[in-house]
Structure 1
Amino acid sequence: MLGICVFLCAVFTHVLSQEAEEPVSYTCTEGYEYDRVREQCRDIDECTLLDDACKGGMQCINHFGGYLCLPKSAVIYISKEGEQVAQPDPGHAPLPVPPSQPQLPRVSSGTQRVPQPGRTVRCTPGFTADDQNLCRDIDECATGRHTCGPEQMCYNTRGSYTCQCPPGYQKNGEHCVDVNECEGQSPCQHHCYNLIGSFLCQCDQGYELAQDMVSCQDIDECSFSNYMCQYQCINSPGSYSCECPEGYQLQGNRLCQDINECETGTHTCRDDEMCWNYYGGFRCYPRDPCEAPYTKTSENRCICRSQAECQGLPSSIVYKYMSIQSDRTVPADIFQIQATNIYANTHNTFRIKAGNEAGEFFLRRFSNVSAMLVLTKPLSGPREHVVDLEMITHHLTMNYRSSSLLRLTIIAGPYAF
């Protein structure tokens, strides 16, 4: 609070010589200077003397013993008692200024005139005078001079105070009661739950609270894990869905199942072709794969009728088809070759005759009549592999040998499912 403080010029030092011709000296208080002509202490006008006495656009108001910096809006007026008063704004208590300069009594002949005491400032309610005779605001909240209830909070203001309820409460007479924030226009985007002194927001499934704790934002379930969907995860507001590639259909919520086009009739094979389904698609193969000098004897078996024409060739060729998933874990047993006819006094050996140039396969002999084809390297698809597996039969009693061939077509699908 701004105001004008009254300073009284006083006489402090009196040097009295025992001899009459010794000069008399005077001392003035701070803010005054001695006027030898009038023989009294004269006020120093700091507003004229100092160019930058006040800063920040404030106006300088001189008063006896000092000066005051007041806003431009401050009004100087004369009170009923003839005192000059500066009133900066309605919230400040007026402070009186002495109407005349204090006089410095002259000391002579060992006597001294004592100046009259200064006026005591009268402050408006809510303010009190300090030791400098300035009106200061009373903090009723700190001093306990308020009437707020035990559940209320006291806030000091200039010249007074106010009682308010804590956040989440409102005044009901002299008491504070809980505010039901969920009534009327709810602050929550989705669901609001009232609490004592507060509230809680919750979101629908598939959403989560944003940083403001009232808004709801979509949860991107697809970002949680690569295992949300077997093939592709599609996020949507509040949810997600799984999609499968062409040739597959969704099984359950996340798995992809191969579509058997050969069974559903959605293939494009001709009547003279056989439809063979594999993971992710289908292939069309001739119903009669036999070529001269071989003749078809069953659905997938070709034999050579003429010994002369088939000299040096397998006596029979069997066609087989299989499909595997791409990038299958290795090593893996994928196909077993078995002799259809078993003769006494014979010995059978097995080998991969063709189709293993990259070394993806290995043929492991089980017994005299069977062997297992082992996958040694992962196969990436979609790709077709044709492997010729040969069984050589040695006739021990008649001392001759014959062979038969199994032509295995392996189709690796485009995906690992």
Structure 2
Amino acid sequence: MIGRYQCSCNTGYKSTEDRLSCIDIDECTILNGGCETTCTNSEGSYECSCRRGYALMPDQRSCTDIDECEESPDVCDGGQCTNIPGEFQCLCFDGYMASEDMKTCLDINECEIGAHNCARHATCTNTAGSFKCSCGPGWIGNGIVCTDLDECSNGTHQCNPNAECMNTMGSYRCMCKEGFAGDGFYCTDIDECAENVNLCENGHCLNIAGAYRCDCDMGFIVTPDGQACEDIDECTFADICVNGHCRNIPGLFRCVCQIGYELDQSGGNCTDVDECVDPTTCISGFCVNTPGSYICNCPPDFQLNPTGVGCVDTRSGNCYLDIRFRGDASESLDCSNEIGVGVSKASCCCSLGQGWGNPCEACPPLNSTGYKNLCPGGEGFRPNPITVIVEDIDECQELPGLCQGGVCINTFGSFQCDCPKGFALNEDTRVCEDVNECEKPGICGPGQCYNTIGNYTCICPPDYMQVNGGNNCMDMRRSLCYRNYYMENATCDGELTFNITKKMCCCSYNIGRAWNKPCERCPTPSTNEFAVLCGSERPGYQIDIYTGQVIDIDECHEIPGVCENGVCINHIGSFRCECPMGFVYNDKLLICEERVDSCGFVWISVWIRVD
């Protein structure tokens, strides 16, 4: 039309009443669009669809049933597919069960629900539509019936070669053999020797694989099992301990020999003891050895002692110190100086006696055969007349004449004769005789000595005083002491500032060389003249007038002026001076003097007392 337009609509559309636009036609509202089942409208068209289980026919309008069993033969895996209108159902085989919608077959797990016939010792394994039975480890069979597998017999076990295999129901157990340690699968040797130090007593333990063995000490033998040592009873052997009795002891044996026999070097037999080799056998007699014993033959005048082990001279007689041969044809003796009465010859001749008996007979010479028979113990000893055991001779009791006038003290094998003061023993006469003390030089010093019985008396010159009971003279004179003496003109100097006795001046250590006025030279040390004055040949010592012993001179006490202004310290045989600060020692005057320095100043010393 002129001045207007109108629409010509496509298929599936229709024009509006004014024909100016096109709108969709809903074909489904008109006889369901011709669809047999479901019509679905769309813009400018529509579509037919079928229910589940049906398929659209080529006319795109009608529906036909789908045969799922034909399209998917395996849709009912484990069952038979049966098609029905619009769907299908599964009829399941044995071992399967249908799902709730009957569309699938589900495998039944017989193992899980217990719907199997596997043996107790078997393992159930589920399979598609069924199950499988397998005998467990250690068992053998078809799974329905299982019997125990003996791994130890068929060699399928894993035990260590040093272990024992023990079969158990369905399994086996490994245990290490004795002598090994471990879990049975791994076994290591046990060192029994290291773990138990008490093994193989009386032997040495040797470790071997799985055990140990004993290496036995001498005198022991290994037991049949090799693991212990047992004592060998040597007493069962022949020719053991001849002349004795065998006693078995662990590891060895002991022969207890009969009296008169002793073990030989092997220790296995007893041999005769030669008692005669022992010098104490058959003392003073002649010994003859016999098997297992001996015979003691005694010399003349001797007889066998009660126990038969020696010979003794049991005679008694007087003992004499001096003998003299008469010189006539009788060869008899004159014996004198009787020192014992009624004593045995051994007591006399084994001491200091020279003759014995009545008539008197000379004692045998020292070291002669007769002396050795009589005195087997040597001088000072004799055989006991009963036991023949050598014993000490008590000279003081049996031979009192050996210490006449003194005190006899018996000692082992000898004796001691102590004479009173002023007496000395005469070794020839055995008498304590007066000592002439006056024969000792200087015993009275400057005095005259007169001997008395057991003592002496000193007659002292003027200015001397008798001391020590008249046994010494003390010079009481005091005079000047000089440090120096000159031989060429008999003069002296170095006069000390104090007066002392000649003995203190001349005998003290480093004091004087001359004494008195006019000066008298002091005697030279180590001379007889010095010893007469001082009692000693060394300066610094003097004779103690009371004991007669040499003693130290205490110069600090006896000579008060020494070490003036200082400290005097006495030493054995000498002395020394210590001067205070500001003083020096004057070895000429033996005093401490104030020190004067080169400028003429005098050092002043102050003594402070600290309480």
* TM-score, length-scaled by structure 1: 0.33
More helix by share: 2
Larger radius of gyration: 2
**Higher relative contact order at CA 8 Å, sep ≥6: structure 1 or structure 2?**
1
